[in-house]
Every structure is written in C-alpha cells, then in structure tokens.
Amino acid sequence: MPRKIVETTFRVRYAETDASGVVYHANYIIWFEHGRGDFFWQQGRDYHRDVEARGLNWPVTELSARYLAPARYGDLVAVRTWLGEIQSRAFVIQYEVLNAETRQVLCTGWTKHLNVGTDWRPRVLPEDLRDLLARQE
C-alpha cells in the first residue's frame, strides 16, 4: 500500500538565507516541522487537540538531514512529508525538500519522535493515535 505523502509549498523568505544568499542549513529543520504540521492538518487533525490536550507530547529525540543542493531567496520549495517507521512508543517522520518548480531534491531527512506523558516518561502510543499516524488514505 502506498504511503500517504503530504506536500507543503512555500516561497523562501529573505530572513531564511545567509550572507551568501542560500538558505541557512538550520532552516531546513524548521521546514521539516512545517511539513510535519501540515501532515496532520491535511488529515483533518490538530496536534494540540489530538495529542497535547490528552497529556501527551511527541518530542524529537533524533534527526538527520542530508543537504544535496541549495535553495535561494525567492525559490518556491516543497516539503514532502510521510510516516516512516512506527513502533510501540516512537515513530519516524520522513522528509524531502524539493525545488517546487524544477523538482530537484534539495534536502532529505527524518525526525524520530517519542510518545511521552506529562511526566516526560515514555508511554505506549494509544491505538487511535497509532491509527492516525499509520492512516494511508
């Protein structure tokens, strides 16, 4: 079964570039978060209502980014986001950042998230949240 892939498109802002006119590397991590948020919104979900209001959090515990080509001010970029691996208490979200016009891949990466309670101790993902993450519609 194919993975649900959500694509978020936006234009690079001047504030996201460095002195050489290319996007500063840390901004790709922010773009991963933007894509992750859209991954849930486009499925009709609200992270605060569906996760935090239940006394749970999904902090990032690991991440990886591989930079392949630069993005520059004014470029139209797309972040493609999908569920990677899901475990009993953790899951991985994968990302691909593209130039939206040429479709050149600029950056790939992933973030690993741990399901924790208000005491910040790991918890088993509730079945309905596992279903939300794994939904491939």
The residues carrying an active-site annotation are: 18
Q: Which residue type is seen at 35?
A: G
**Helix-then-strand count for the chain, H and E:** 3, 7
Please check whether residue 31 is in contact with residue 109, taking contact to mean a CB–CB distance below 8 angstroms.
no
Q: Provide CB contacts within 8 A for 109, sequence distance 6+.
A: 28, 29, 32, 63, 64, 65, 66, 94, 95
In this structure, what is the dihedral angle of CA atoms 123, 127, 133, 137, given to the nearest 10 degrees? Answer: 180
